[in-house]
Amino acid sequence: MSLLIVDSIKKYFPMKSSFGKPQNWVKAVDGVSFKVNKDSVFAVVGESGCGKSTVARLILKLLSLTDGRIFFKGEDILSIKGEELKKFRRSVQIVFQDPFASLNPRMRVVDTLSEPFKIHRIAAKHQIKDRVVGLLEKVGLGADALNKYPHEFSGGQRQRICIARALTVSPELIVADEPLSALDVSIQAQILNLLQDIKKETAISIVFISHDLKVVHYLSDEVAVMYLGKIVETGETEELFKSPKHPYTKLLLASAPKIRVKGQGLRVKSEESGDVPSPITIPNGCPFHPRCPERMDICDKTVPELKESGGRLVSCHLY
C-alpha cells in the first residue's frame, strides 16, 4: 500500500474581481495525481510558480482542496479529526525553504527541539535533553548548540535544526519544500548529504520539492515534472533522466540555470520561449505550446492527456 495517494487534486485561488465581471481563478494546482511509497523519495520539480508549494500545503492539510482527494495510510485526510488529526500532524512533517523564517528567534535550540516531545508526550521529562542531544548529533551539530539562539547559526546550520525538529516526532513522511534554495551553493551539498543519510538510515518517506534537477537526480526514486499546475511527465528517476520524453523535461534538463534569484527558485528562459506563463491565463491546447520547440498544428488546439508511454506518464501529443 502507498503511504500517500494524491488523487486528481485541484486548488483554485479566487482573484479579486471587479463588480459585474465574472470571477477569475488562479489555477495553482489543476488535477495532480501521484503516489508515494513507504521508504522512498518522491520529487516534484518545476519552475517557480508552477504550484509546488501549493501541493505541499495541501498534503499537510494547511490548505483546503478545491477538488480531488488525498489519502495518508489509506485514510482520506479530509476526514481526519480529533486524536487522529494529532497523529497525522505528527506523522507528516514539513521542512520549509527558509530556515531563517521558520525558527522562533526568541527560543533556544534546546527549547525548540524539546517542544514537540512535550506537546506530543513522546518522552519522559528527564529523557528529553538526551533525546535532543541525540537529534543534534544526528544532524551534524553538537551539544554546544543547545543553549544558542537561531541568530547564532549559519543558514545551513539552521536548516539542520529545522530537520532535527522534523525528526523529533519520528515522522513517517517529510515534505521538504525547496530546503536548499535559500542556502549558499557551497552549503547545499551538505544538507543534501544529510537528507541522503536520513533516506538511507530511516524508513521515512520524503516528498522532495525542487527546481533543481541535479539535486532530484541524486536523491529521489521517482520524479514528477510540473508545469502550470499540472504534471507533464512522471516516472522512475533513473529512467526519466536517461530518456526524458516531454519537451519541457528536456528543456529543464538542457538548461543551465539562467536566472537564479536567491530564495525564489529558478526560472528557465530559452531563446524562443519568453517568460513563464501565468496560471491565470493558461494557454489553449497544450499549456506548454508557446515555448515548445517541437510543437505541431494540434498543439494549440487540443489539450494532451497524461497517458502511459514506455513505463511512464507523459502529456504530449508526440506520444
Q: Please, which residues have CB within 8 angstroms of residue 126's CB and are 6 or more apart in sequence?
A: none
Residue 207 beta carbon to ligand ADP: minimum distance, rounded to whole angstroms: 13
Residue number with CB closer to Mg ion (41 or 292): 41
Tell which positions 262-291 bind ligand ADP, by CB under 6 A. 265, 279
Q: How far is the CB of 178 from Mg ion (least distance, A)?
A: 6
- Find, among 3, 5, 70, the residue nearest to 37 by Cα: 3
User: Which C-beta is closer to ligand ADP: that of 28 or that of 161?
Assistant: 28
**Least CB distance to ligand ADP at residue 310 (A):** 27
Of these partners, ligand ADP, Mg ion, ligand SF4, none, which one is at the site of residue 316 (CB under 5 to 8 Å by kind)? ligand SF4
DSSP 28: E
Of 259, 227, 256, 223, nearest to 241 (Cα)? 223
Q: Does 112 bind Mg ion (CB under 5 A)?
A: no
Residues 6+ apart with CB under 8 A from 142: 136
Using CB under 5 A, count the residues that bind Mg ion.
Answer: 2
Contact 207, 36 (CB under 8 A): yes
Terminal C-alpha separation, the chain: 30
> In whole angstroms, what separates CA 129 from the centre of its chain?
31
The grid cell for 273 is: 520561449
The three cell numbers locating residue 186: 557551497
Nearer CB in complex with Mg ion: 112/188: 188
From residue 276, alpha-carbon distances to 48, 114, 268, 279 in Å are: 9, 43, 8, 9
Q: Between residues 56 and 109, which has the closer beta carbon with respect to ligand ADP?
A: 56
Rounded Cα distance between 250 and 253, Å, is 5
Q: Using CB distances below 5 to 8 A depending on partner kind, what does residue 28 bind out of ligand ADP, Mg ion, ligand SF4, none?
A: ligand ADP
CB of 272 to ligand SF4, least distance (A): 12
Residue 50's binding partner, choosing from Mg ion, ligand ADP, ligand SF4, none, with beta-carbon cut-off 5 to 8 A by kind?
Answer: ligand ADP
Stretch 40-69: interaction string toward ligand ADP, x if CB under 6 A:
------x-xxxxxxx---------------
HSE-up of residue 4 (Cα within 13 Å, Cβ side): 26
Q: How far is the CB of 284 from ligand SF4 (least distance, A)?
A: 11
Residue nearer to ligand ADP on the CB measure, 50 or 173: 50
**Site mask for ligand ADP (CB under 6 A), range 2-41, x = bound:** -----------x------------x-x-------------
Q: Which is nearer to ligand ADP, 10 or 317 (CB)?
A: 10
What is the nearest approach in angstroms of ligand SF4 to the Cβ of residue 299? Answer: 3
- How many Cα atoms occupy the beta-carbon half-sphere of 115 within 13 Å? 12
Counting Cα atoms < 13 Å in the Cβ hemisphere of 119 gives 14
Cβ atoms within 10 Å, residue 101: 11
Closest CB 174 distance from ligand ADP, rounded Å = 17
The answer to whether 226 and 54 are in contact (CB under 8 A) is: no
Q: What kind and span of H or E run contains 127?
A: helix 125-138
Binding to Mg ion, residues 20-59 (CB under 5 A): 52-53
We find the least distance from the C-beta atom of residue 287 to ligand ADP, in angstroms, to be 13
Q: Which residues bind ligand ADP (CB under 6 A)?
A: 13, 26, 28, 46, 48-54, 265, 279
Q: Which residues bind Mg ion (CB under 5 A)?
A: 52-53
